[in-house]
Amino acid sequence: MRKIVYLSMFILLFGLLLGGCAEEPVEAPVEEPVEEPVEEPVEEPVDEETFTLRFANYFPEPSSQGQIGQEFADDVERLTEGRVTVEYYPGGMLLGPGEMYDGVEEGMADIGLSNLGYTFGRFPVSEVLDLPLGFPNAWVANRVASDFYAEFQPEEFDETHVLTFHTSPVNNIITIDTNVRTPEDLAGLTLRGTGYIAELVEALGATARPMPMGEAYDNLDKRVIDGLLIPYETIIAFGYAEVTEYVTEVWPLGQVYTFYITMNKDTWNDLPGDLQEMITEYVEEEFREKLTEMWNRIDIEGKEHAIAEGYNITEIPPAELSAWEERAENVIDKYVETMVDRDYSEEEIMGWIDFIEERIEYWTEQQIELGIKSSTGPEEVLVDW
């Protein structure tokens, strides 16, 4: 009995020893909860403000001067990616040439294109560009005109924001049936002309009759006027080839019609700065070149058309040029006197004229160097007809 008790105790102790040597159970690792990614809120795109501008031009839509306005509208909309839309009104649909500046200033149009001669005396400083100062052709004259505005920025345009100045090609004497070889041949003739172009008509010995370009054809046909002081390009643009036959080239006198494109100041100021920069850069780096190329090209086409139509074209012999230049000088002298009476100093006025003449010389040299051809000007730049 005692052995059985000892054996039982031994077995019990042995079992306890075995249990104490066994490994403790390993607990399974607890997995951390996985955090779901938090989606950032998506910002809704902010709609940029858009602007609609009304552009008024008195030139008829089919003309090159009318088409370039539409090109401006298309370019601005493209460059601003639709933030600026330009509604275009050519052919005097919105404003005529004489009411253009006031209409833009008052907000009837946001942008307007017109000619200084239609408001003669309104922009006296800028009208210096309409004097017979020796512009050889449109390529040179357009560059000089934009240089002039950039240099002097006449206060007379302060009510609006000027985009650019540009000019027509150089004027010629175009008549119905009179071959003008000397100033004396102009006696008794009536020629269409406005502003200082009309002043030159009078100085050369003819009678000036201001009238809108759109009315000149009928007045030629009815013999109300005998001709015009006007560029070659008008022979096509206004159909003058049907009612005129003679051209006298007076390009050495170098007189052009000066144009402006200006914008309502409030409209301009309402545009964000980046849009102002886009439009300014476009005008300065691209659109002015388009204007210059257009005016130069259409005058070449005008002279080609005159030759094809059998016009009698007279060139002033160099030996006889002084008689014409003396009369043209009278127009310049009259301008200086008028401006002195308006309290501008003669020194200031002559500064404008000297600047223009210096830029004419500079850009003529550039044209020769670049090999660009024109309808008028020195021999080096003339198209080989």
Specify the pLDDT at position 214.
85
Looking at residue 122, its pLDDT comes to 97
**pLDDT score for 38:** 59
Return the pLDDT at 231: 97
Model-level pTM? 0.87
Q: Tell me the DSSP string of 90-131.
A: -TTSS--STTHHHHHHTTS-SEEEEEGGGGTTSSTTGGGGGS
DSSP character at residue 297: H
The CA-to-CA distance between both ends of the chain, in Å, stands at: 149
Residue ranges, the chain, pLDDT below 50: 1-26, 28, 45
Integer CA distances (angstroms), 223 to 94, 295, 334, in order: 31, 29, 30
Q: Please tell me the predicted confidence (pLDDT) of residue 181.
A: 96
Rounded to whole angstroms, the Cα distance separating 157 from 155 reads: 5
Tokens read off for 247: 């051209």
Q: Residue 41: what pLDDT?
A: 57
> What is the DSSP-derived secondary structure letter of residue 284?
I
CA–CA distances in Å: residue 182 to residues 26, 28, 255: 123, 118, 18
Distance CA 239, CA 160 (A): 34
